[in-house]
Amino acid sequence: MAGTTLTSTIGPDSMDAFRSGTVIPAHPLALDASRRLDERRQRALTRYYLESGAGGVAVAVHTTQFAIHEPDRGLLQPVLELASTTAAEYAENAPILVAGVSGSTAQAVAEAELAASLGYHLILLAPYGATELSDEELLERARAVGEVLPVIGFYLQPAVGGRVLPRPFWRQLADIPSVVGIKVAPFDRYATLDVVLGVADSDRGADVTFYTGNDDHIVGDLLARYPTGTEFVGGLLGQWAVWAHTAVQLLERTRRAKEGDDAALREVAAIDIELTDANAAIFDVRNNFHGCIPGIHEVLRRQGLLDGIWCLDEKEVLGPGQLAEIDRIWAAYPHLRDDHFVASHLDRWLR
């Protein structure tokens, strides 16, 4: 199927926004104390992101908890549908809806078809549930899913379920006409270069849009210009599941900095290490990312967006010492937070 046919499913305005770059938060899963879906707070999160100025949301991805893809839980369709119907409240802004799909080729295609039926525009191909697939089988899976909706490739770091993928894999992925972007999230400079250089070797390299998923190097990625001409135009990030309003401002500052605004460059350079430090606490780097998702939930709980930090897996809790680390960065970097913005809208979002 030709790339032009596929991209028409998203609409020219949304596709242009994706190509030019935007903030796409990875959407968390709101649960109540019984670990059941909290629909009211799930909708509130979507409203928060879209009113923050994000260009869209990514749902059923790692931050949403990969376990929602397990059929016995019965969560995938309602979670996708909640985000889609809530995003329809902001139709005039043409938000981009990205659905994460996982598993075998058959499962991934079925999930993509579900997402398409619910109005999603793009598919983020997650490695969850596909560990037994070879690199070539992963490419075949991308081709099959691309028959349903345009595809964003995903280099997920091994610590949270990804695996090492060599440079030739990324060239071959970029060769697939349905691949419109790549989320680069190995948390590794060398691996990030493998993606950039691999895609540059493809005849379709210029057609593939780069989004950073390297939560440990957000500012660096957004400022970088590679010798290949590659640039990261936006972010599809778990870190941007929190403090989304500030994230939108950060992306705009990095754009100004790249255009030669020296004051903006100094501002984002100062934020660079602070944001990485904050991310280390929120993602629980000290404990090999064990508390990554609960850490995101803890920030949202403090702001009133979530009622607690519950995850589907009862063992998925804050890591040892993580709460103290979050306390530390909370006090150290109040300018990274968007507490006032959230507080001024929260009651309406929760209605």
pLDDT of res. 127: 82
Structural domain including 85 reads 3-245
Residue 113 lies in a domain: yes
Task: Decide if 30 is inside a domain.
Answer: yes
The tens digit of pLDDT for each residue in 141-180 reads: 999 999 999 999 999 888 888 888 999 999 999 999 999 9
Question: Would 283 be classed as within a structural domain?
Answer: no
Contacts of residue 325, defined as CB under 8 A and 6 or more positions apart, other chains included, come to 280, 281, 284, 286
Domain-embedded: residue 303 = no
- Tell me the three state secondary structure of residue 195: helix
Residue 298 lies in a domain: no
How high is the pLDDT of residue 340? Answer: 98
What pLDDT score does 128 carry?
81
What pLDDT is attached to residue 129? 83
Count of CB atoms situated within 10 Å of the CB of 248: 20
pLDDT at 6 over 60: no
Residue 220, domain CATH = 3.20.20.70
Q: Residue 26 region, left (φ>0) first, then alpha (ψ -120 to 50), else beta?
A: beta
User: What distance in Å separates the CA atoms of residue 306 and residue 69, rounded to the nearest whole number?
Assistant: 22
Of 36-50, 58-72, 93-107, 126-140, the range with the lowest mean pLDDT is 126-140
- What is the pLDDT, as a whole number, of residue 158? 85
Sign, CA torsion 7/11/14/20: positive
Instruction: Tell me if 250 sits within 8 A of 272, measured CB to CB.
Output: no
* Confidence label for 9 from pLDDT (cuts 50, 70 and 90): low
Tell me how far apart the alpha carbons of residues 116 and 101 are, in angstroms, rounded to a whole number: 12
Query: Tokens 């939930």 belong to which residue?
Result: 297
| pLDDT the model gives residue 3 | 36
Q: Report the range of poorest mean pLDDT among 52-56, 128-132, 296-300, 316-320.
A: 128-132
Cα-based torsion angle of the residue sequence 50, 340, 301, 291 in order, rounded to the nearest 10 degrees? 80
What CA–CA distance (Å, rounded) separates 44 from 39?
9
Give how many domains the chain has, as a whole number: 1
290-349 pLDDT, tens digit each: 999 999 999 999 999 999 999 999 999 999 999 999 999 999 999 999 999 999 999 999
Q: How confident is the model at residue 206 (pLDDT cuts 50, 70, 90)?
A: very high
* Percent of the chain residues past pLDDT 90, beyond the cut: 91
Strand ranges in 91-146 using DSSP code E only, listed in sequence order:
96-101, 122-125
Is 276 contained in some domain? no
* In the predicted structure, residue 69 carries a pLDDT above the cut 50: yes
Q: Does residue 5 have a pLDDT over 60?
A: no
Q: For position 126, what pLDDT does the model report?
A: 85
Q: Which of 210, 205, 281, 199 is nearest to 243 (CA)?
A: 281
Task: Tell me which of 160 and 69 has the higher pLDDT.
Answer: 69
Which helix H or strand E contains 83, and what residues bound it?
A: helix 76-87
Question: What residues pair up with 96 in beta bridges, in sequence order?
Answer: 56
Asked if the model's pLDDT at residue 4 lies above 50, the reply is no
